[in-house]
Amino acid sequence: MKLDARRGHGRAKISSLGTYVPPRLMTNSDLEKMVDTSDQWILERTGIRTRHILEKGQGLSDMATHAARQCLERRGLAATDVDAIIVATVTPDMMFPATAALVQDKLGAKGAWGFDLSAACSGFLYALQVGAKLVESGAQKNVLVIGGDVMSSILDYTDRATCILFGDGCGAVLVEPAEEGEQGILDFAHEVDGSGGVSLNMPAGGSLNPASHETVDKKMHYVHQDGQAVYKFAVRKMAEACETLLDRNGLKGSDISLLIPHQANKRIITSTAERLGMKDEQVVINIDRYGNTTAATIPLAMQTAVDEGRLKKGDLVLLASVGAGFTVGACLLRWEF
């Protein structure tokens, strides 16, 4: 192993974790009553059994505030200790102000600044890198990195190709300076391929196609996806991003304690693990419980690993994602709490 063993100064680490999913469950059986599909078909092709759905009248800021509070309570910090808030999402409460501003107010994080980041399913990893760099530079001490989406708000529940895939949820981590002897966040590999934008998007609601009767009638405010194109890209690029980090750090798949991937499709995850030479016990899969929660999948999977006793201090962890854009992200870190 060639892992950098520099002292903690100048490094960032994840020091706490908080998550939230709404209590309402939508099962595959529920979807059978809404669209032409079946529990068996969904389970075989995606690995999903249930997903959580946020009640109407609530927004991402509500879930994000829950997750952030839990994260801070576990660390023993007050909201006023937070320096910055980064929210990764494609389903903000509204176009502006940023959901980060709404969360700052609901938390009572006086003195904190923040912003939203849009990178779809890779959003959490992109926000994690930004937060880490703020800490590594010495500019900030405590950065809340939040990934969450209310995908049910942009789904067409008459489109069986997309509505079966997604759920709602949110996760938050605290990024702060590593202590002496800790490694924390070690390396990143990110990429954007904008030519894939046509394959997964929400066509209306922005400046190109502002809301109108026509955009609503044409269902342009919902997720539109070319499933085959997305699947092929994700299978290839998730593994490639992981290989880039492993090669750069002199590691093999067998050196990784845990792979925590974006939960979009069980087949994508297992294909990536096989290519990296990883065993089942090295991989976290919880898509059966939550579906694809977009920017929330990785922190939710972190929580699953913690709950199952599979993640402990000192573990070498690999995070990976592919999302609309197309966006690609991977992160190598040492779990430090």
- Catalytic residues, by residue number, are 121, 262, 292
Torsion angle in degrees (nearest 10) through CA of 210, 213, 219, 222: 40
d(CA 86, CA 97): 13
233-248 exposure pattern, b = at least 16 Cβ within 10 A, e = fewer: bbbbbbbbbbbbbbee
Query: CA 300 to CA 298: how far, in whole Å?
Result: 5
CB atoms within 10 A of CB 163: 21
Evaluate whether 168 touches 237 at the Cβ level (below 8 Å). no
Instruction: For the beta carbon of residue 5, count every other beta carbon within 10 angstroms.
Output: 8
Give CA 116 to chain center in angstroms. Answer: 14
CB atoms inside a 10 Å sphere around CB 80:
12
Q: Is 270 exposed, middle or buried (0-12, 13-18, 19+ CB in 10 A)?
A: middle
Q: Which residues, other chains included, contact 84 with Cβ-Cβ below 8 Å and sequence gap of 6+?
A: 112, 113, 114, 131, 134, 140, 142, 143, 144
The phi, psi pair for 204, rounded to 5°, reads -115, 170
